[in-house]
Structure 1
Amino acid sequence: MEDAVLFSVKDQIATITMNRPQSLNSMNEALIDGLHAALTKVETCPGIKCAVLTGNGKAFCAGGDLPFLETLADTAAKKAFIAKVGQVAKRITAIEKPVVAMVNGVTAGAGVNLMLACDLIYAVDTAKFAQSFAKVGLIPDCGGLYFLPKAVGVHKAKELMFTADLIDVAAAEKLALVNHVCPADELEATVMQMAERLAVSAPLAIGLIKKYLNNTAMTLDEVLDAEAVVQPLCMATDDSAEGITAFKEKRAPKFTGK
């Protein structure tokens, strides 16, 4: 039996592939445990500078595996699983390295919210998206009540969640749910081109930018205070010195994360 999540590394880029194509990569215990294991590798391996999250087959992720959810014996078991799913989304936001979603097909329910937890989102031009929870009498999970209003605003988030309507990739791009749309034969190359750029960018700066952009509760004064503390620390790094030198010498910088 194949692993529910595949993991590979090439040129400092980790690829995490949800691998339950027969169920549209829906979330069961094996898939969620596999995602946690993959994220631990991304977090702890210094040779990994960027991660790409995608799905195998015709879907990115269709959300929760309903037959599996029906096997959860009681409220405690259901709570434990939903919490574990939510921690995947939280870990993606907390990892200092950029995570790019490569959306290869249909994305629904918690799959949409898993996608929204990522830093950049590239989607195939045939992708479709649905916050499908209300159709089965559920509320959004995997951080959806947090991520979707951030992406599209509260009123549009309510519409998408109340109706559970399926939208196409053109509508998703218009709503800023995705960064870029690509033909199927160009998706992987386009994503990897961006991942390669991110892998050689200044890791300390990227990690800090991600940290502060994800902290939407900060007031302007708190942001300005943080900038006044953190920016001088960045200015003292080898990466900043290298970036300035490279700029003056009109060459590409070689960042070391120091």
Structure 2
Amino acid sequence: MSTVLVESQNNISYIYLNRAERYNAINKEMLEELLRVVETVEKNEDSIVILAGKGKAFSAGGDVGMMKDFADSAFFDGIMKTIERIVLKLYMMPKIVISALQGSAAGLGLSLALTADYVIAQRESKLGVLFMGIGLAPDGGGHFLLKERLGIHQAKQFIWGMKQVDASQAKEMGLVDIITDKQVMEEATEVGNKLLATPLTAALKTKEMYHSTQKETLRYYLEEEAKTQWKLRNTDDHQEGVQAFLEKRKPKFIGK
């Protein structure tokens, strides 16, 4: 079964994360499939891209099981390079990108969602960075994307807080653009159709001007995040965070 699905309807490309039974936790296979899909969608004729998750969540973040293999430097480097390519392509996509969130959008899942031009969330959604809960720092461009939406001071505190916020709080903070009581895909499609009735070529020139000036800054953050995760993977706190997660208990961090 494919871990990423894609379809095209009425000038809108729909990309679905498809590990519903794992709340769309992102593993190596999903990352590789997502990169292939994003590369394909980038070149098609559609003007709108909607990024969503199948099942009850957008994405619970990186699959903790995958992190047990991070001791292998080749495996780790491959994962981080794939993440970098996906994030840069989504951020620089020459189309309007909409993230459609239901349930949880956490960790790497939240980073992917924030690459979008519009973030739409069902009222019951929960958004959180949560990397520090397993002794890691954000990746997937999370530092850059949070800074862009929240500013540095609030971004730091949100990262450090290790908490999820509901859609209303997220909108007040600036993480979410639209809250809906409808099914999120219905709302996202309506927004996409409204955008298709606007001068999109002009809109995309505005996006290009803003994003092209930030591309190298985003790349810097992605590269620094990869270096940071490589260092943090051996800390006592990361090992404790992963073990506590697997054992479904509260971690006991020691700051090392």
TM-score under structure 1 normalisation? 0.79
- Who is 2:154 aligned against? 156
Determine the C-alpha separation between the residues in 2 that align with 1:173 and 1:216: 26
Correspondence for 2:237:
none
**Within-5 A mapping of 1:46-57:** 46=45, 48-57=46-55
- 1:196 lines up with 2:166 in the alignment: no
Alignment partner of 1:66 is 2:80? no
Partners of 2:74 and 2:4 lie apart in 1 by: 25
Match of 2:106 in 1: 108
Q: Does 1:4 align with 2:39?
A: no
Aligned equivalents of 2:184, 2:214: Cα separation in 1? 34
- Could you give the per-residue CA deviations for residues 198-237 of structure 1, whole angstroms, max 9, x where no partner exists? 234334322211112224659xxxxxxxxxxxxxxxxxxx
Displacement of 1:69:
2.2
Which residue number in structure 2 is paired with residue 79 of structure 1? Answer: 77
- Does the CA-based 8 Å contact 2:92-2:212 persist in structure 1? no
Amino acid at match of 1:191: A
Gaps of at least 5 residues in structure 2 are 216-256
Question: In 1, are the aligned partners of 2:23 and 2:56 still within 8 Å (CA)?
Answer: yes
| TM-score using structure 2 length | 0.79
Within the candidate set 210, 214, 219, 2:211 is matched to 214
Instruction: Classify the secondary structure of the residue corresponding to 2:68.
Output: helix
1:205 and 2:194 correspond: no
2:246 corresponds to: none
What amino acid is the match of 1:4? Answer: T
Q: How many residues align structurally?
A: 215
For 1:19 and 1:186, the matched residues in 2 are separated by 18
2:69/2:75 contact within 8 Å kept: no
CA distance in 2: counterparts of 1:204 and 1:169, whole angstroms? 31
Aligned position for 2:239? none
**Equivalent residue of 1:95, what SS?**
coil
Greater Cα shift, 74-83 or 173-182? 74-83
Distance 1:101 1:116 in 2: 8
CA distance, structure 1, for counterparts of residue 119 and residue 176 of structure 2? 5
Q: Match for residue 171 of structure 2?
A: 173
CA drift of 1:142 comes to 0.3
Please list the CA deviations of residues 64-116 of structure 1 after superposition, one character each: whole Å capped at 9, or x if unmatched. 11102213451232122022112211101111101100012101101111111
Unaligned runs of at least 5 residues, structure 1 = 219-258
Write out per-residue CA displacement over residues 48-77 of structure 1, whole angstroms, 9 at most, x where no aligned residue. Answer: 111100001111011111102213451232
After superposition, the CA RMSD in angstroms is: 1.7
Equivalent pairs: percent with the same residue?
A: 26
Take 1:73 and 1:94, find their aligned partners in 2: how far apart are those partners? 31
